[in-house]
Amino acid sequence: MSGYDGALADLVDELGRLPGIGPKSAQRIAFYILGAPAEDVTRLAEALQTVKARVRFCEICGNVSEEETCAICRDPRRNQALICVVEEPKDVLAIERTREYRGLYHVLGGAINPIQGIGPEQLRIAGLLSRVSDGSVSEVIIATNPNIEGEATAAYLSRMLHTIEIPVSRLASGLPVGGDLEYADEITLGRALEGRRVISAGR
Ligand SMILES: [Zn+2]
Does some domain include residue 66?
no
In this structure, the answer to whether residues 93 and 160 fall within a common structural domain is yes
Task: Find the 196 Cα to ligand 1 centroid distance in Å.
Answer: 23
In this structure, the answer to whether residues 101 and 186 fall within a common structural domain is yes
**Are 168 and 140 spatial neighbours (Cβ–Cβ below 8 Å)?**
yes
Length of the chain in residues, anyone? 203
CB contact set of 161 (below 8 Å; sequence gap of 6+): 129, 132, 140, 168, 200, 202
Does some domain include residue 45?
yes
Task: Find the 104 Cα to ligand 1 centroid distance in Å.
Answer: 8
pLDDT mean across residues, the chain: 91
Domain that holds residue 24: 6-54
pLDDT higher than threshold 70 for residue 115: yes
Task: Find the 39 Cα to ligand 1 centroid distance in Å.
Answer: 35
Task: Find the 157 Cα to ligand 1 centroid distance in Å.
Answer: 19
Total number of domains in the chain? 2
In this structure, the answer to whether residues 136 and 104 fall within a common structural domain is yes
Task: Find the 186 Cα to ligand 1 centroid distance in Å.
Answer: 22
Task: Find the 98 Cα to ligand 1 centroid distance in Å.
Answer: 18
In this structure, the answer to whether residues 105 and 153 fall within a common structural domain is yes
Task: Find the 167 Cα to ligand 1 centroid distance in Å.
Answer: 21
pLDDT of residue 201: 76
CATH number of the domain bearing residue 178: 3.40.1360.10
Among 81, 87, 79, which residue's Cα sits nearest to residue 63? 87
Does some domain include residue 25?
yes
Q: What is the pTM of this model?
A: 0.81
CATH number of the domain bearing residue 17: 1.10.8.420
Summarised one tens digit per residue, pLDDT across range 3-43 is 788 999 999 999 999 999 999 999 999 999 999 999 999 99
Task: Find the 174 Cα to ligand 1 centroid distance in Å.
Answer: 28
Summarised one tens digit per residue, pLDDT across range 157-191 is 999 988 888 889 988 777 766 667 877 888 888 88
In this structure, the answer to whether residues 102 and 194 fall within a common structural domain is yes
Does some domain include residue 65?
no
